[in-house]
Chain A
Amino acid sequence: MIEAVIPQASLLKKIIEAIKELVDEANFDFSETGIRLQAMDKSHIALSFLHLRSDGFSEYRCDRSQTLGINLNSFSKILKCSANDDQVQIKAADEAEALSLTFENSAKDRMSEFNLKLMDIDIDSVEVPDMDYQATVSMSAQEFARIVRDLGSIGEAVTIDATKQGVRFSATGDDGSGNILLKHQKSVDDDSTSATTVEITEPVSHSLALKYLANFAKAAPLADRVTINLIEEAPVMFEFKISDMGHIRFYLAPQIEEDND
């Protein structure tokens, strides 16, 4: 038996929006500690991990670990039937064939209930081992989304250069080029949502496909800040912390020429 209550439907909506660009179907692993999801995009370049801790829910119960296969497009369609402020309850019996979703408005005078048929998804489970990153950039999630949008109109790939001085995003396209520099701010003040910090052991530079970053940026509404973790010749990790609840992480493989394989 699984039961979880999220106070605001908007949070769940944002989470699903952020993932469904990468995959159509995914397994949600429910356990006592919370919900995990991992999904690899179809072109095997990006990987996303979602972790929602049980204590972040207003109510959470999971008698035994269970994996629910969900079609994200269908899930998203059902979530659209909720108002942003609605409280969401998700429920599934053991060996259930459907996931039950109940939306309740804040006035507690309207309740709607939906059932989402579950899928049996046979997929290999993977992990990316922890790495010692050479540089970690922490910046405003909104700023990140904006940079991705702006540079997306210039070119197809963005180069991220992390140095002690700060982080530079640059792109070149047929019509011109552009770059955006965010300077490292030494002390993080209290109103630090807009400040950028760079922790660095070695300068790193990475070139990444903007179309994936645009997908990742869909997670920006979930978090104030995003950290970009870089290391030479390994996937870049983007982490959005979901306040009091967990995180969503995206790994993006460095661009390699196909001829090399």
Chain B
Amino acid sequence: MDIVKDESSSQDEKPNKKAAFEFNLSSQAPSAHAIQNKRARLNRAKMQTGDVVMDDVLNTELPADFSKELEKLQKADAHISDPKTTWPRPEAPSLDIMATSLVFQQMEIDEEFVPDNNTVIPRLFGVTDEGYSVVCFVKGFFPYFYCPAPDGFKEENIPMVIAELNRLAQQNGQSSNNNIPGLNAVVDIQMCMKEPLFGYHGNVKAPFFKIIVRNPKLVRPMSQIVKRGFNVHGVGHYAGTFYESNLEFTIRFMVDTDIVGASWIELPAGKYSLRPSTKTFCQYEVEVNYNDLIAHEPVGEWSKVAPLRVLSVDIECAGRPGVFPEAQIDPVIQIASVVTLQGQKMPFIRNVLTLNTCAPIPGVHVMSFENEADMLSQWAQFVQTCDPDIVIGYNTTDFDLPYLLDRAVALKVQNFPFLGRIRDTVSKVSSTHFSSKAYGTRDSKAVNMEGRVQFDVLAAMRREYKLRSFSLNAVSAKFLGEQKEDVPYSIITDLQNESAETRRRLAVYCLKDAFLPQRLVDKLMFLVNSMEMARVTGVPFNYLLTRGQQIKVVSQLFRHSSRQDLVVPVIESQGGDNQYEGATVIEPKRGYYDMPIATLDFASLYPSIMMAHNLCYTTLLNRQTIERFELVKDVDYVVTPTNDCFVKSSKRVGLLPHILKELLSARKQAKNEMKNETDPFRIQVLNGRQLALKISANSVYGFTGALNGRLPCLQISASVTAFGRDMINETVKEVEKQYTMANGYEHDATVIYGDTDSVMVKFGVNTLEEAMRLGQEAADHVTSKFINPIKLEFEKVYFPYLLINKKRYAGLYWTRPEKYDKLDTKGLETVRRDNCQLVPLVLDTCLRMLLIDRNVDGAVEYAKNTISDLLQNKVDLSMLVISKQLSKTDYAAKQAHVELAERMRKRDAGSAPQLGDRVPYVIIKGTKDAKAYEKAEDPIYVLDNNLPIDTNYYLEHQLTNPLTRIFEPILGSKVTSLFKGNHTRTIRVAAPTTGAMARFMVKTNTCLSCKIPLKGEYQHRAVCKHCEPKLPEIYIRNMDVMRELEMRYARLWTECQRCQGSINREVVCTNRDCPIFYMRKKGQKDAEEQAKVMDRFDYTW
């Protein structure tokens, strides 16, 4: 058998004891055919929980072999003789600036300081449709702020005001540059007619100064000078408030030029010039006046995407045992890079730089170096040559890139830290602190790479998804269905030091880590969606990962306000947490509903309230204004349930309602286009856009309620929620009033639950069709009672429906009567991640049985079996792992994961969890009064030392409550029978191989049949005297167990070999996120134990 022959070579490679054992068992691995049969047989048989889970994993589509994939790529690239020729961008023809206009998609906008005249000019980096890189310097744009002009000011006096302000600036030490005369702080002042954003002013504009200053740093000091007051010619001393002084320069520039993130820019022929010097690595280096550039709105033709170069990187370091790699000491041994053109499936550059030799890898350009410094400098040169627009990777911002830079410093590689597009700008590592309500707080590092966008897939993952584990393995398994080999830190150094073959293995592993982020980006459409978000909200692309939610609303607000000649005030952050009342939740009528429950939802509730009632900064009224303009209640203005007043749209259309209307109609349009579109890539783009539009519309309300935000306005946000509450209550009343027997309906309808923007109605009818018809009717009926565009929609019917509590329910979701769509659960442990995986698995299965199969007995049986398996230690360990994020070390109360991380650090500092990691643990048995934190233990340590699992903890603290919650409405008080009874009377307790006592104990054999301890002559036999007659039967039973265990282990082993892409080598993977890993470990252990048992039969025959 081929497999076996190959296996023997693996034994030679690493003659350690453990590996040898693993080999022994696997050498009995049956042929693939046998496994197939076995699997089929097993599937048919009734199986234990653990088996089911494992087979689920095994039966999923096996990932394509990574090495084979690479080989395929090699064939495609067979014509390329020197891989380095693929690095540079296509040769750019020289530009005829008078005849051709230059069109490119900008991906990055930043500023450059020009010391000559002490100004800052925006720089746009981008790529043309042909793939040529462009940098465009924009001249003539200065930052500015507004201040109301004093009454009676005459425009011809402006030069005097400029002079006065410049005098004050000089006095204040704020003159732009004392050494260069004539470079005054204030460049110019223009008069314009504007209207403050806050409050209704009868639509009257007033004269404002637009004070234009030399560079962004002068905006704040100049606004302070204005606030303190200055002498205005012909008016006297004047102190003005300032507006819009807190807008970032980049956003200011983009707002004024109508450039949105990742949009296309056109420089018309004859309007731009080529720069004489080449300060950058870009192919075209041009200059343009800001008035001359054309910003294309990203619609129609201009919603396309340029052939951006996306570089994905991963590095490997050779750490020392027990220590996390430190750049000062530990070398970088490999750097894998893959470059993909946006929109293409496969990377066209694939290379890996290795320290020391490396056996060739088909399809990959391997470059080996004797000297680490040479390797680093080659990589820097590679980056400069291939000139990527976007740099991605997994945790690259926090680890790979900083490590490379630090390492280059340690090795004094002078030409390394130039990773950006500006030739003489050094890339450095800096620390950043990010804090956002939506995304949480995080300390991280940052590396500057001017002109290139960094998109760390880990950071994006953390923003977009809530997962148990964020390791690349876990994420790839979840989204790509690919498990990868996880080489433990500790053996990387060994693999590096051994041979060219082992280094090749490492290189393949490293390459895979570079491939996976690219695939994640493609699969989850991170770039496309982010680009659309940047286009919709108008912020530069990189803001999406580096900034919070607010800036997106700010950007849109300024864009619209400038079009309406509104000026935005600067509101100092008030802090505080003056809470206003939130959404309403109707007290649920708990229970199990074996009848259709219709759900009515308000579509985009908060945006539609703002639109319906014209709630905005610009429409806010106070008493004085109402009196001054003699406004009439309910004719000219509305009074909200919180007693705030807003003028009606007949007087003035609010800015926010206007923005919202645009967003929602754009979304509708995107959705329509999607329907008619056939190109899958275009559909992705459009879908990304409609999502971005939806999110943007919903974030407007939050923006007005953020007290420490840019522009809080509680009158708006509190009114919005108050309207929302009233509407829900109104809906309940209306439905219960209309659908009654008195009105000729079959039953009285009741609202059994409602939350924020939806109500659940029990119409009392028994068929889906009937419930759907009534639901639709009720939605239309209620909608007619509200102001346009508020719309109550009938969305779905739950049937059956299990209402457990507020925000906790489950039901079968139907949108058409023929077939249910899905099983929908809210707030149940199926979706939470602070428990072990057994809980969601059991809950989900039980719910499916209850709600889909309507099989209550089956569900009870299943729950009992699971509990029984748990108590007998038959549940797979991976099912019991709980994980919590280690977010800070100084918790006041002791927490299990924190304590464990500390203990693990003492055992082995290198592999111990770091701050920000999720710590996996299981609960083991401890003394009676032991705290939970004392009983938490590392799952691998538990496996290695055979520590007994505290099954009671899992039963009482993990399973009991969730199961009670879902079964109680159905079983009533009988629910406790789930947790007590015969199925809980068989238990298995492992005897630990570690601990203080273990060294002194001797295990004694017990009879395999009746469990009585064996003594004397029977001591080493299989059974006791009484059971001897049954020996053959017992032998066969145990033999079956043995075969089963070996088979299982062999299958797991083969699975891991397949995953690592080679059946010739031993499995070294310690991927904690892979369920197979724990099963393999357990499988090995079980097989070993059973083998010992089998030895005991040897004494006679």
Contact = CB atoms under 8 A, between A and B. Distances in A.
A189 interface: no
B94 interface: no
Nearest to A24: B952
Given A125-B1005, A126-B1004, A251-B1000, A29 B1013 contact: yes
Given A46-B997, A128-B1001, A67 B991 contact: no
Contact of A127 (B907, B952, B992, B1004): B1004
B997 A44 contact: yes
Given A29-B1013, A65-B1012, A123-B988, A42 B926 contact: yes
Interface string B990-1005: 1110111110111111
Contacts of B1006: 67, 124-125
- Chain B: interface residue count, which band? 35 or more
B893 interface: no
A216 to B, nearest CB: 13
Most chain A CB within 10 A, of B926, B929, B997, is at B997
Contact of A117 (B927, B930, B985, B994): B985
A40 B846 CA distance: 36
Nearest to B996: A253
A197 B1084 CA distance: 52
A85 interface: no
Contact of A118 (B985, B995, B1004): B985
A122 B997 contact: no
B1024 interface: yes
Given A120-B986, A123-B991, A126-B991, A47 B997 contact: yes
A163 B196 CA distance: 93
Interface in B996-1045: 996-998, 1000-1006, 1010-1013, 1024, 1026
Contacts of A21: 928
Contacts of B1010: 65-67
A120 B987 contact: yes
A112 interface: no
Most chain A CB within 10 A, of B998, B1001, B1002, B1024, is at B1001
Contacts of A253: 995-997, 1000
B988 A122 contact: yes
Interface string A39-55: 01111111100000000
B926 A29 contact: no
Contacts of B1012: 29, 31, 65-67
Most chain A CB within 10 A, of B996, B1004, B1005, B1024, is at B996
Interface string A127-141: 111000000000000
A45 B997 contact: yes
A108 to B, nearest CB: 34
Interface string A233-261: 01100000000000000010111101101
A126 B927 contact: no
B962 interface: no
B930 A43 contact: yes
Contacts of A46: 997
A36 B985 contact: no
B989 interface: yes
Contacts of B952: 24
Nearest to B934: A43
B1010 to A, nearest CB: 6
A122 B925 contact: no
Contact of B987 (A64, A67, A122, A211): A122
A124 B991 contact: yes
B699 interface: no
A123 B1005 CA distance: 10
Given A47-B997, A235-B997, A235-B1000, A125 B1013 contact: yes
Given A65-B1012, A126-B1004, A261 B994 contact: yes
A119 interface: yes
A3 interface: no
B1002 A126 contact: yes
B594 to A, nearest CB: 35
A44 B946 CA distance: 12
Interface string A168-207: 0000000000000000000000000000000000000000
B996 A256 contact: yes
A25 interface: yes
A27 interface: yes
Contacts of A117: 982, 985
B1070 interface: no
B1001 A47 contact: yes
Contact of A45 (B906, B950, B996): B996
A25 B986 CA distance: 11
Most chain B CB within 10 A, of A24, A44, A64, A122, is at A44
B927 A211 contact: yes
A46 B928 CA distance: 13
B986 A129 contact: no
Interface in B926-948: 926-930, 948
A119 B987 contact: yes
Nearest to A118: B985
A121 interface: yes
A255 B1001 contact: no
Given A25-B987, A29-B1013, A126-B1004, A44 B906 contact: no
Interface string B913-933: 000000000000111111000
Contacts of B1013: 29, 36, 125
Most chain B CB within 10 A, of A67, A120, A124, A253, is at A124
B872 interface: yes
Contacts of A119: 985-987
Contacts of B997: 40, 44-47, 235, 251, 253
Contact of B1011 (A43, A122, A126): A122
B72 interface: no
B903 interface: yes
A43 B903 contact: no
A128 B906 CA distance: 31
A42 B930 CA distance: 10
Contact of A65 (B928, B948, B1001, B1024): B1024
Interface in B16-67: none
Contacts of A65: 1010, 1012, 1024, 1026
Contacts of A211: 927, 929
Most chain A CB within 10 A, of B986, B994, B1013, is at B1013
B989 A127 contact: no
A121 B1024 CA distance: 18
Most chain B CB within 10 A, of A41, A43, A119, A126, is at A43
B951 to A, nearest CB: 11
Contact of B992 (A44, A125, A128): A44
A129 B925 CA distance: 25
A42 B537 CA distance: 59
A217 to B, nearest CB: 15
A257 to B, nearest CB: 10
B981 to A, nearest CB: 9
Nearest to B871: A119
Interface in A36-95: 36, 40-47, 64-67, 69
Contacts of B992: 44
A125 to B, nearest CB: 5
Contacts of B926: 42-43
Interface of A: 21, 24-25, 27, 29, 31, 36, 40-47, 64-67, 69, 117-129, 211, 234-235, 251, 253-256, 258-259, 261
25 contacts: A24-B952, A42-B926, A42-B928, A42-B950, A43-B927, A45-B995, A46-B997, A65-B1012, A67-B1010, A69-B985, A69-B987, A117-B985, A118-B985, A119-B987, A122-B872, A122-B989, A123-B991, A124-B991, A125-B1013, A126-B1003, A126-B1004, A128-B1000, A128-B1001, A253-B1000, A256-B996
Given A25-B987, A27-B1011, A129-B1002, 5 more contacts: A45-B995, A69-B987, A117-B985, A118-B985, A122-B987
Pick the 5 closest A-B CB pairs, nearest first.
A253-B996, A44-B995, A42-B925, A124-B991, A120-B986
